[in-house]
Amino acid sequence: MTNAIILQAIQLLAGLVLGSGTLDRIAAVVERWADQELTGAEKRAGVLAELEVIGLKLTESLTNLGIELAVTYLKKQTEVK
């Protein structure tokens, strides 16, 4: 599968499961934390805290799914460029 198809599939899945625009919001937060000189666990904690501050209310499992989709989405985006 090409990266473009994978990106579209991630967007479709996220839209269906998380709601429209949610992936973009989570991806923006993940991207802000990605370059921090922190451990993975510290970055994840920061992302979760920021998502709470901006009012993104999802169950823990949906938040985890959203973060994983956002990380994969951002990686695939950089591969396309």
Structure tokens at 59: 């169950």
In total, the chain counts a number of residues equal to 81
**pTM for the full model?**
0.88
pLDDT tens for each residue of the chain, 81 residues long: 688 899 999 999 999 999 999 999 999 999 999 999 999 999 999 999 999 999 998 999 999 999 999 999 999 988 876
CA distance 15 to 6: 14
HSE-up (13 A, CA, CB side) for residue 81: 6
pLDDT value at residue 22: 95
